[in-house]
Amino acid sequence: MQTSRVIDHITDWLRTYSDNSGTAGFVIGVSGGIDSALTSTLCARTGKPLLCLEMPIHQHRSQVTRAANHIEWLQTNFNDVSRLEVDLTPVYDAFAAAQPAAEGWGHDMGLVNARARLRMTTLYYHAQKHGFLVAGTGNKVEDFGVGFYTKYGDGGVDLSPIADLYKSEVYALAKELGVNQEILDAAPTDGLWGDNRTDEDQIGATYPELEWAMEFNRQGGNADALEGRQAEVYALYMKLHRANQHKMVPIPVCEIPAELTA
């Protein structure tokens, strides 16, 4: 990959999209992870105003520190970068307390996803207030491979600058741009559980493995010929890919036949 040219291409794309939409700049949730670090840096490179929101909800301290350090780095290296911390912990706690008591995986995941949806609501509040666009941070594997994001949470954005990049390419661009080493070294995590569990812990495979499976599927590989770990990873990839199609395709619309509306 020609990292420098890709960086310039995405930066120009962001600037042009904002210009054409009549918006003033960008707002992004900075989590301390590699995806939000790269996306926020690309937005800052446009020269347009960038608002970085920190939105902790019972957040692990290491994630908070990495996010703060990254925003400081952005403000040192780029003009018109502002920051705002919105502590959503009390809001989340009130929401959780209002729900009927329940047990089991589904209830836990509902509350986990509620964190992402509260953040989406916060991002859009500030986007509307300032006339900004909400910049998404999903990469290609998450958005179009395994659907590893929250529907109407971190999937609720105005534009997706890095959604055509594999995770390995995200790292390559971030390194080229000089993103802090602590972010480059940190294990990927969605930060929705309040602890330090990684994406691999939740998915069951690494991003390099998922990238391989996504490409294998795209190229029409013969799954029956796979063995061992490759067979396991591919089966996992296809299971998640099928289960999360509802996130990746347009909302189904029940079309009424013309003869019924006459």
Q: Give the structural domain span for 54.
A: 3-201
Cα 86 to the center of its chain, rounded Å: 19
Look up residue 135 and give its two tokens.
């910049």
13 class by beta-carbon count within 10 Å (0-12 exposed, 13-18 middle, 19+ buried): middle
From first to last of the 262 residues of the chain, give the pLDDT tens digit: 899 999 999 999 999 999 999 999 999 999 999 999 999 999 999 999 999 999 999 887 777 889 999 999 999 999 999 999 999 999 999 999 998 865 544 458 889 999 999 999 999 999 999 999 999 999 999 999 999 999 999 999 999 999 999 999 999 999 999 999 999 999 998 888 877 789 999 999 999 999 999 999 999 999 999 999 999 999 999 999 999 999 999 999 999 999 999 8
Half-sphere exposure of 152 (CA within 13 A, CB side): 7
Domain assignment present for 50 = yes
Q: State how far the alpha carbon of 120 is from the alpha carbons of 14, 53, 72, in Å.
A: 20, 11, 23
Q: Where are the beta strands (DSSP E) in the chain?
A: 25-29, 50-54, 81-85, 132-134
Domain assignment present for 166 = yes
pTM score above 0.75: yes
Domain assignment present for 239 = no
Q: What is the CATH number of the domain that holds 137?
A: 3.40.50.620
Q: How many domains does the chain have?
A: 1
Domain assignment present for 224 = no
**Structure confidence at residue 103 (pLDDT):** 54
User: Which residue's structure tokens are 């189904």?
Assistant: 252
Domain assignment present for 233 = no
Domain assignment present for 62 = yes
Domain assignment present for 64 = yes
Domain assignment present for 221 = no
**Structure confidence at residue 45 (pLDDT):** 98
